Amino acid sequence: MSPSKPTKVFNDPVHGHIELHPLLVRIIDTPQFQRLRYIKQLGGIYYVFPGASHNRFEHSIGVGHLAGCLARELRDRQTDLGITDTDILCVQIAGLCHDLGHGPFSHLFEKQFTTYTKPEFKHEEVSVKMFDHLIASNNLEREISEKDLIFIKELIMGCPMSNELKQGVWPYAGRPEKNSFLYEIVANKENGIDVDKFDYFARDCYHLGIQINFDYKRFLKFVRVCDVGNRKHICVRDKEVWNLYNMFYTRYGLYRRACHHRVVNVIEIM
């Protein structure tokens, strides 16, 4: 992958001007990614909140952008981490493609259909399969090394609290254990603090007309990698606890006021 400078600028209502690497633009222009234009981010919620008609397409671009922002902040602040331009590009690709596996109406599809037809369904696993299909059918294999492809798919799946990790065994092949913190950027299964949530909190609140008190830009300014136990993790200053509290409270508010709205529940059942 060539770490050349971004050449495409997107104007986003949440993040402003977003600059993306040419390879990211090639991925965005594929039929597999363009499909996300037609998948509602919030399922049937827009029947109750008319402004919430945004799609997985713009959310995925936002996550790819924020993944790059967080990785670059860590690289610039802690040069000893050895974060490369290729690492950053891989993290961005994972952020861009993390939701490729969502079905119609997003999580509504999982709740009302796959729960009964395929209980073991996980959209992350389908996202990985769709990513493989995207790469193969658009002749992108030569643009990304085999090792980087493995890394990207591991990032999409998220870092699980597996038995191997609990026993101190590093279960991943894409990057060595010294880069463990990179696995917490897109899908952080350990504490839920990741750029996927940063984007959908900001974007969903924007379109729902709900106030958000969590400031992801402030989080990025105070983030750093620390040794916790025998592994490197993404951490923030203790004085930022209130900002993180606001993040989790925002999630609670979104579910209480929108996702679990009684009329929304009725519509989804219908």
Query: Mind telling me the catalytic residues?
Result: 123
Beta pairing, strands 8-12 & 16-20: antiparallel
Q: Per residue in 83-110, is it b (16+ CB within 10 Å) or e — as a string?
A: beebbbbbbbbbbbbbbbbbeebbbbbb
C-beta separation of 235 from 74 below 8 A: no
Q: For residue 227, what are its two tokens?
A: 């040794």
Measure the N-to-C terminal CA separation of the chain; round to a whole number of Å.
Answer: 47
Alpha helix (H) ranges present in the chain?
22-28, 31-34, 56-77, 85-97, 107-109, 115-117, 123-137, 146-157, 163-166, 195-208, 216-222, 241-254, 262-269
Greatest C-alpha distance within the chain: 55
Q: For residue 129, what are its two tokens?
A: 């399969």
Nearest to 46 by CA among 253, 248, 204, 250: 204
Nearest to 133 by CA among 64, 1, 32, 39: 32
Place of tokens 């030569």: 142
